[in-house]
Amino acid sequence: MIAFRRLTLAVVAVAGLMLSATHSFAQQRPDVGDQPGLIPDDTVELDPEYRKQVVLYRTTEPPGTIIIQTAERHLYLIQGNGRAIRYGIGVGRDGFQWQGILNITRKAEWPDWTPPPEMIARQPYLPRFMAGGPGNPLGARAMYLGTTVYRIHGTNQPDTIGTAISSGCFRLVNADVADLYERVPVGTRVIVRQKPQL
């Protein structure tokens, strides 16, 4: 009987170690940026740095332009008179950051999500299609950038704002993306910069 108890304890201990190692590995995986079906926790409180606010912002770009400062984790909607509305964002993880100038070519409320083939190749567990709704990783709104696979969109993971976790898209909390969505039309110029503004 004692030998059986020792064997049982040893099996439980090994199982616990394996489960712990699996959990640790899952947390380190670089491809866990999207969690389909996760319902957002609207009680998440953003760091003051990433809350929507009007700020001083010098630029020669005209009002209505969006400037994304990837390194700062901020999106600026230029207002003119040296001011901009600043939103906190989540950005692309290492290897998925980019810069350039595009235009918003389409807008969608509670968009459906069809992960592109290259994302499916990296993350085969993702659904091939997901209807829009609270558990959709694109969140409440999406603004599509040029003819690329990149978007400015909401998120079902508000705790990722301020981090580098996406596959190249820019995510805002749902309240902020809905606010931005109402302020910008299709055709809006979007400038994505990697380096902080001097």
- Residues 6 or more apart whose Cβ sits within 8 Å of residue 139: 40, 153, 154, 155, 156, 171, 172, 173, 174, 177
How far apart (Å, rounded) are the C-alpha atoms in residues 169 and 92? Answer: 6
Residue 130: how many CB atoms within 10 A of its CB? 19
HSE-CB of 77 using CA atoms within 13 angstroms: 19
How far apart (Å, rounded) are the C-alpha atoms in residues 113 and 12? Answer: 41
- Residues 6 or more apart whose Cβ sits within 8 Å of residue 18: none
Q: Is 169 a catalytic residue?
A: yes
From the list 145, 169, 173, 180, the catalytic residue is 169
CA R_g for the chain: 20
Rounded to 5 degrees, what angle do the CA atoms 71, 73, 78 make?
A: 105
How far apart (Å, rounded) are the C-alpha atoms in residues 14 and 8? Answer: 10
Q: Hey, what are 63's tokens? A: 């009002």
Q: Is 153 a catalytic residue?
A: yes
From the list 141, 151, 153, 171, the catalytic residue is 153
Residues identified as active-site: 153, 169
